[in-house]
Amino acid sequence: MTSRSAAMHSAEPFSETNDALRVVDLSKSFRSGFLRRRLRGINGVSFTVPRGSLFALLGHNGAGKTTTISCILDLVHPDRGEVNILGAPHGNRSVRARVGFLPERPYFFEHLSGRELLHFYAKLVGVEPRRRNDQVQRLVDKLGIESYVDRRLSKYSKGMLQRIGIAQALLGDPELLILDEPMSGLDPMGRREIRELLLDLKAQGKTIILSSHIVPDVEALADRVAILREGHLVMSRDLADLQTDSRFEVSFGAGDPATADGADELARLLAACKQDGRRIQRIATAKTSLEDLYLEAHGSRPANQKEAE
């Protein structure tokens, strides 16, 4: 047991389950304006996340991704619905100690260095004093931030802050990571670095839930995606299933490129090229299935209205 979970573990039992997260009929509304009209945040959101997978909440800004995450973590109390994390209700303090979280807009004390910040959060999550130095240094090495970890946070770029934010989310070795828009504001190189980091964490057995509005990032990372629109979960699919619907273009340098519909046909085409000795210069995705699904999900108005009486 890690010090993070040991520090807050209670006698409440956890049920054995293959799901890291189960969300059932989650709904939340807010009141706004002089007339205190009720605005729908999310309505009837349900999904499950298997252990060891990378699950994405995909939707435009304002679709309900952050509200869903806030309700999952009990930062905002839902109007109705059920949330189970690692086999226990989400209100259980000990189960929340097994979760690492990166908010969309994290606020860090800018007068601290990255190392000082990590030590501060390590103390907050209950890492034993004798283990803090080793755990912080391991995370510094894992995330490749040694070159700037001793600078003040006020001097950090957006990419640096995202890495230090993920490092703090990993303190205490949590079983589940929830990352709200981890790619937001990053340049292409920074997005690629964070993608590689998340894939490495998944390979180590972490369960990762991320929210994003960037379709290519989700397609490159996720095992399963849930698409949100105006507070409704309108579609949920395994990305492995979508590969059969993708179209690829294979270029040889001269003449028109060859096309392949789906991963199986692409594999046969590549095998034929190898047998014929044809040199392949480029393979490109001509049709992105997830993008098609995303556009389809936004092609019709959801049944709910933003304002509820």
* C-alpha count within 13 angstroms, C-beta hemisphere, residue 219: 16
pLDDT in tens, the chain (309 residues): 333 433 433 334 445 568 999 999 999 988 776 666 666 789 999 999 999 999 999 998 888 999 999 999 999 999 999 999 998 998 888 888 899 999 988 889 999 999 999 999 999 988 999 999 999 999 999 888 999 999 999 999 888 888 899 999 999 999 999 999 988 777 788 788 888 888 988 998 999 999 998 888 888 899 999 999 989 999 888 887 776 566 778 888 777 788 887 777 888 888 888 888 888 888 876 656 787 778 777 774 444 433 332
Confidence (pLDDT) at 34? 62
pTM beyond 0.85: no
Q: In what order do the strands lie in the sheet with 307-308?
A: 88-89, 80-85, 19-32, 37-50, 307-308
Phi, psi of 101 (to 5 degrees): -135, 135
Closest by alpha carbon to 65, among 199, 221, 208, 180?
180
Angle between helices 114-124 and 158-170 (to 10 degrees): 30
Distance CA 249, CA 65 (A): 34
Domain ranges for the chain: 11-110+171-238+290-308, 247-287
CATH code assigned to 11-110+171-238+290-308: 3.40.50.300
Distance CA 66, CA 57 (A): 9
Count the Cβ atoms, other than its own, within 10 Å of residue 266. 21
Amino acid at 164: I
Distance CA 306, CA 209 (A): 25
Confidence (pLDDT) at 7? 40
